Structure 1
């Protein structure tokens, strides 16, 4: 059995062929749809019999309402209890701490894993999506970084500061991927949001 450096066998992506020719589009349909001229009524109008509506039923006799039950005084209000913290909150905080620790030691894969787990608990947390986008950017996964920032923008609501940071992340990812015009457009969006 051959041995490979790093213990992993090389992977060759054969899903896209370099010399592949574009396939022709299927021929257009030859079916033509023409609108109807005037619909013909199923039953001619002169044959429809006009029937007067039935007479209204006689009103029901009025029954006297029973007297309302005696009203008990409301108990004094209890001391307000603090709302319980969401179950996932402590877990998310712990996962975010794990991610920060992993970043500080340079373990971006572990940081990404912790953030992905946090997103399984709080999938609508725009800040976690932004953080994961930052990790993907440092991993040189530019398309994923841009996608994470766009997802964060979709969830950020009125948080323009976060949206501006997302647009800056998108700009860096696009510039690194060679899309200068797209990067400039993303920078412009960030500037608009920072006003």
Structure 2
């Protein structure tokens, strides 16, 4: 009977890299698209409460769509409510971690809102995030 020398255990090869996150840019449903278009016209007419109401209706349809939170943030910004605009941007940023374009737009909204309130250092940091996620 022949004995073989013990083979050293196989060394595990390098671990494969974790899969890249799936990029899923959000899109608006037809109903939300119509409401956003309506809101943009209302915003141009400086009819901020009605524009906000249109976006809020769209948010009832698609509450997790970061594009709608960005649109609502733009309305809040136009009416001078920069704290709420920043909050809308942060909500959009949280909802768009795997959507670089939407995330960049959210951070741009945050930066603009901070800058409007004189928080220039924080605004610069937000703008770096906006440019870094593209």
1:187 CA drift (Å): 1.0
Looking at structure 1, the residues matched to 97 and 38 of structure 2 have their Cα atoms a distance apart, in angstroms, of 27
Once the two structures are overlaid, the 10-residue window that deviates more, 92-101 or 164-173, is: 92-101
Could you say what the CA RMSD is over the residues aligned between the two structures, in angstroms?
1.5
- Alignment partner of 1:174: what SS? helix
Looking at structure 1, the residues matched to 127 and 121 of structure 2 have their Cα atoms a distance apart, in angstroms, of 10
State the aligned residue count.
Answer: 106
* Paired position in structure 2 for 1:129: 69
Output aligned runs, 1:31-50, within 5 Å: none
Output aligned runs, 1:65-144, within 5 Å: 89-144=29-84
* Paired position in structure 2 for 1:174: 114
Pick from 76, 90, 93 the counterpart of residue 150 of structure 1: 90
1:175 CA drift (Å): 1.1
Normalised to the residue count of structure 2, the TM-score between the two structures is: 0.72
The answer to whether the 8 A contact 2:86-2:113 is kept is yes
Looking at structure 2, the residues matched to 188 and 92 of structure 1 have their Cα atoms a distance apart, in angstroms, of 30
* Paired position in structure 2 for 1:183: 123
| Greater RCO structure (CA 8 Å; 6+ sep) | 2
In structure 2, relative to structure 1, the CA distance for the partners of 1:162 and 1:93 (3 Å cut) is closer
In structure 2, relative to structure 1, the CA distance for the partners of 1:191 and 1:97 (3 Å cut) is closer
Q: Which whole-Å deviations, capped at 9, do the CAs of 1:98-154 have from their partners, x for residues lacking one?
A: 212212322122111110111112111110001111111111111100110111111
Highest Rg: 1 or 2?
Answer: 1
* Paired position in structure 2 for 1:19: none
* Paired position in structure 2 for 1:193: 133
Once the two structures are overlaid, the 10-residue window that deviates more, 94-103 or 119-128, is: 94-103
The answer to whether the 8 A contact 2:36-2:71 is kept is no
- Provide runs of 4+ in structure 1 moved above 3 Å: none
1:93 CA drift (Å): 3.4
Structure 2: 5+ residue stretches without partners: 1-28
